[in-house]
């Protein structure tokens, strides 16, 4: 079972490297992270934190948008593309199970994302540390950022597989992937914001809103990175919601989402005829 | 008695409310080559996917080498070449075949030999994106040869191939059958199947309407034999007056007769002596037989 999974993972990783996906993702993360680090270096003096802290805060905001997008771009044709080529039936006619196929692809795509995150955030972090100083706390925040980005990426990879299995074609799958990104990363927040404004500090804002934030993987990612470091929270100005939740809630959400999303993808692919 | 390589018994399958297979039964034994014919949508591909365990039957049972379709043993025993197959364009042929070898649990040492055997030795390290359709099809064939399958299922293997590639493909199919693999080939290329298969199975709207050796189907269908008689000189009209039939052109007459009367008719025509310049006897072709069964003349 492991051998078949690794065989799929090896081939997928090779494909990602060949079609420059791995490189593109890494360069993209690196450029954005560097740009944010140095463009966002202004508040260090006024907040009394080191440059790496500010950099991590900026990169957290970046990662919320970019990580899900990269993950969905990697995964949206994972099943639909194989089906269109006719190779899905062929792969599954061997002893490979649908679950092994998904797990193999996830391993490869996650490795690509992890490399991109480590390279992008790592390099930007190093640059920030060199230019404006870093401490043990800001270093821990950077490692947390990289780790949680990988978890966030795993969630959206698995969601991408789910739409890829459900959609009839790669075009349909691409459309659904964009829809997922828009809803979970952009519209969800706008909706909550609207509700908070309308509620004017009532029950919704006090009791429900933080939980609804933690329920969304992108917001849980933001919350956890903010809550884990007081300095990052200071630099990002997102302390209110994080403080209203039990400490483990955003992390639990971050850890559970990949599992739930993969289970969803597994269910979706088992319902499709290759 | 040995277990059939493929045993399909009273299988039904519907996609939604549309029935695709109705009570279909079929046995294919080791070393046997069976052609699966039918119009598009007759259920050929679905039958293969059932045998591979890729889709589940609504009723009836399918087994491969005695194991239920879809079980690990059945999957290991069956090899498949899907219709219109493509591979990821970024991988090379060698990498793609190595992936299949690992999935099949076969040593990668077998890969170079198989690539040579299907004539891809030189192209093996080029990306599949730059390959022709015939080369991709050969790669598909190479992955079937991994691990000596007991059952080979080929869905339209020759569509879009040039005559030389077709010939080579059938040579490999024959070789597999020679080694004891049961082969089921779905195809529309009737003329090339005629000499290449031991039995013909015909699906019509999800029902198996015929399944036998070509000669037996021919007898059973009772299709007329075509006798084409060429008159000597300008005497075609005279010839037609004697033997009936239809004038084809200035010199020939075509007579259709039931197989049982063939010898009597031939004797009669031979008796005309100098009136006859030439005589051709055409048995009903697989195409005639296919049309007979697939268009519902009987049963």
User: Which residues of chain B make contact with A89, given a CB cutoff of 8 A?
Assistant: 49, 52, 54, 80, 82
CB nearest to A11's CB, from B79, B84, B99: B99
User: Which residues of chain B make contact with A20, given a CB cutoff of 8 A?
Assistant: none
CB nearest to A273's CB, from B54, B84, B104: B54
Looking at the complex, does the CB of residue B144 fall below 8 Å from at least one CB of chain A?
no
Q: Tell me whether 0.90 is exceeded by the ipTM.
A: no
Alpha-carbon span B219 to B208, nearest angstrom:
18
Single pTM value for the model: 0.86
Interface contact A89-B80, CB threshold 8 A:
yes
Interface contact A95-B90, CB threshold 8 A:
no
Angle at A101 between CA B116 and CA A97, to 5 degrees: 95
Work out the number of other CB atoms within 10 angstroms of the CB of residue B262: 15
Domain segments of chain B as ranges: 6-219, 224-283
Indicate the fold that domain B6-219 takes in CATH. Answer: Rossmann fold (3.40.50)
pLDDT score recorded for residue A159? 97
User: Which residues of chain A make contact with B57, given a CB cutoff of 8 A?
Assistant: none
Looking at the complex, does the CB of residue B265 fall below 8 Å from at least one CB of chain A?
no
Looking at the complex, does the CB of residue A46 fall below 8 Å from at least one CB of chain B?
no
Looking at the complex, does the CB of residue A94 fall below 8 Å from at least one CB of chain B?
yes
Q: Among B143, B226, B194, B216, which residue's Cα sits nearest to residue A89?
A: B143
Interface contact B75-A90, CB threshold 8 A:
no
Q: Which domain holds residue A192?
A: 2-270
Q: What burial class does residue B129 get, using C-beta atoms within 10 Å of its C-beta: 0-12 exposed, 13-18 middle, 19+ buried?
A: middle
pLDDT score recorded for residue A264? 96
- Does pLDDT of A194 surpass 80? yes
Q: Which one of B103, B149, B156 makes the best mutation probe of the A interface by having the most chain A beta carbons within 10 Å?
A: B103
Q: Among B88, B169, B84, B199, which residue's Cα sits nearest to residue B133?
A: B84
pLDDT score recorded for residue B298? 43
Total of domains in chain A? 1
Q: For A149, which DSSP code? A: H
Looking at the complex, does the CB of residue A8 fall below 8 Å from at least one CB of chain B?
yes
Alpha-carbon span B108 to B97, nearest angstrom:
9
User: Which residues of chain A make contact with B157, given a CB cutoff of 8 A?
Assistant: none
Alpha-carbon span A237 to B129, nearest angstrom:
50
Percent of residues, chain A, with pLDDT higher than 70:
90
Contacts of B182 (CB under 8 A, 6+ apart): B4, B5, B6, B28, B29, B30, B31, B32, B34, B150, B151, B152
Q: Which one of A6, A10, A20, A93 makes the best mutation probe of the B interface by having the most chain B beta carbons within 10 Å?
A: A93
Q: Are B76 and B121 in contact (CB under 8 A)?
A: no
- Does pLDDT of A224 surpass 80? yes
User: Which residues of chain A make contact with B76, given a CB cutoff of 8 A?
Assistant: 95
Percent of residues, chain A, with pLDDT higher than 90:
44
User: Which residues of chain A make contact with B83, given a CB cutoff of 8 A?
Assistant: 86
Alpha-carbon span B293 to B299, nearest angstrom:
8
Structural element, H or E, at residue B15: strand B6-15
User: Which residues of chain B make contact with A6, given a CB cutoff of 8 A?
Assistant: 102
Distance from CA of B132 to the nearest CA of A (A): 15
CB nearest to A274's CB, from B54, B84, B88: B54
CB nearest to A95's CB, from B75, B80, B86: B75
Residues in chain B predicted with pLDDT less than 70, given as ranges, are 1-2, 296-299
Q: What is the DSSP string of A54-123?
A: HHHHHHHHHHHHHHHHHHHHHHTTTTHHHHHHTHHHHHHHTT--HHHHHHHHHHHHHHHHHHHHHHHHHH
Alpha-carbon span B104 to B106, nearest angstrom:
5
Of A49-53, A84-88, A256-260, which range is least confident? Answer: A49-53
| Gap between the terminal Cα atoms of chain B | 31
Q: Are A54 and A138 in contact (CB under 8 A)?
A: no
Looking at the complex, does the CB of residue B128 fall below 8 Å from at least one CB of chain A?
no
Interface contact A91-B75, CB threshold 8 A:
no
Interface contact B103-A14, CB threshold 8 A:
no
User: Which residues of chain B make contact with A274, given a CB cutoff of 8 A?
Assistant: 49, 54
- Does pLDDT of A201 surpass 80? no
CB nearest to B49's CB, from A8, A89, A96: A89
- Does pLDDT of A76 surpass 60? yes
Interface contact B140-A7, CB threshold 8 A:
no
- Does pLDDT of A72 surpass 90? yes
Collapse the DSSP code of B229 into the 3-class scheme (helix H, G, I; strand E, B; otherwise coil) and give the result.
Answer: strand
Q: Among B14, B104, B124, which residue's Cα sits nearest to residue B59?
A: B14
pLDDT score recorded for residue A239? 58
Give the tokens for residue A31: 């450029």
CB nearest to B54's CB, from A3, A6, A89: A89
Q: Among B105, B104, B118, which residue's Cα sits nearest to residue B176?
A: B118
pLDDT score recorded for residue A57? 82
Domains B6-219 and B224-283 share a fold: no
Q: Which CATH number fits domain B224-283: 2.30.38, 2.60.120, 3.30.70, 1.10.1660?
A: 3.30.70
User: Which residues of chain A make contact with B160, given a CB cutoff of 8 A?
Assistant: none
pLDDT score recorded for residue B299? 43
CA separation (Å) from B289 to B188, B201, B227?
13, 11, 17
pLDDT score recorded for residue A111? 95
């Amino acid at each position: 079972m492991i051998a078949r999974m690794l065989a799929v993972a090896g081939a997928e990783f090779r494909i990602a490297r060949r079609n420059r996906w791995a490189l593109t993702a890494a360069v993209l993360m690196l450029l954005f992270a560097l740009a944010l680090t140095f463009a966002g270096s202004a508040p260090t003096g006024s907040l009394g934190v080191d440059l790496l802290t500010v950099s991590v805060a900026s990169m957290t905001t970046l990662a919320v948008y970019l990580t899900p997008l990269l993950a969905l771009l990697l995964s949206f044709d994972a099943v639909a593309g194989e089906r269109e080529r006719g190779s899905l039936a062929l792969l599954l006619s061997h002893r490979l199970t649908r679950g092994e196929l998904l797990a193999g692809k996830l391993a490869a795509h996650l490795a690509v994302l992890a490399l991109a995150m480590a390279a992008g955030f790592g390099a930007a972090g190093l640059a920030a540390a060199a230019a404006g100083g870093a401490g043990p706390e800001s270093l821990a925040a950077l490692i947390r950022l990289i780790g949680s980005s990988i978890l966030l990426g795993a969630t959206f990879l698995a969601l991408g597989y789910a739409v890829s299995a459900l959609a009839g074609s790669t075009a349909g799958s691409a459309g659904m992937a964009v829809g997922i990104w828009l809803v979970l990363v952009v519209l969800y927040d706008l909706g909550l914001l609207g509700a908070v404004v309308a509620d004017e500090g009532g029950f919704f804002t006090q009791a429900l809103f933080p939980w609804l934030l933690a329920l969304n993987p992108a917001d849980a990612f933001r919350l956890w990175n903010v809550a884990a470091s007081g300095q990052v929270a200071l630099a990002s100005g997102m302390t209110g919601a994080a403080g209203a939740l039990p400490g483990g809630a955003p992390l639990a959400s971050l850890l559970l989402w990949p599992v739930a999303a993969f289970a969803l993808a597994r269910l979706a692919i088992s319902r499709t005829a290759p | 008695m040995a277990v059939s390589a493929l045993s399909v018994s009273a299988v039904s399958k519907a996609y939604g409310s549309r029935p695709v297979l109705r009570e279909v039964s079929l046995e294919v034994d080791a070393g046997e080559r069976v052609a699966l014919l039918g119009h598009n949508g007759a259920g050929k591909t679905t039958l293969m996917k059932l045998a591979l365990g890729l889709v589940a039957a609504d009723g009836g049972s399918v087994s491969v080498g005695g194991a239920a379709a879809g079980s690990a043993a059945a999957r290991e025993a069956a090899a498949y070449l899907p219709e219109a197959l493509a591979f990821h364009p970024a991988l090379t042929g060698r990498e793609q075949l190595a992936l299949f070898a690992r999935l099949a649990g076969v040593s990668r040492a077998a890969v170079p030999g198989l690539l040579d055997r299907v004539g891809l030795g030189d192209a093996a390290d080029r990306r599949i994106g730059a390959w022709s359709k015939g080369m991709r099809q050969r790669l598909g064939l190479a992955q079937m040869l991994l691990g000596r399958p007991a059952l080979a299922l080929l869905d339209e293997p020759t569509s879009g191939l040039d005559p030389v590639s077709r010939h080579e493909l059938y040579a490999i199919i024959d070789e597999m059958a020679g080694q004891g693999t049961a082969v089921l080939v779905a195809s529309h290329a009737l003329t090339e199947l005629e000499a290449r298969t031991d039995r013909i199975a015909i699906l019509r709207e999800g029902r198996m309407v015929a399944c036998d050796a070509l000669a037996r189907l021919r007898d059973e269908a009772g299709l007329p034999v075509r006798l084409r008689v060429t008159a000597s000189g300008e005497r075609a009209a005279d010839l037609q007056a004697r033997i009936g039939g239809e004038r084809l052109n200035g010199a020939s007459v075509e007579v259709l007769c039931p197989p049982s009367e063939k010898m009597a008719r031939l004797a009669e025509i031979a008796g005309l002596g100098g009136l006859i310049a030439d005589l051709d006897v055409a048995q009903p072709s697989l195409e005639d037989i296919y049309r007979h069964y697939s268009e519902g003349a009987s049963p």
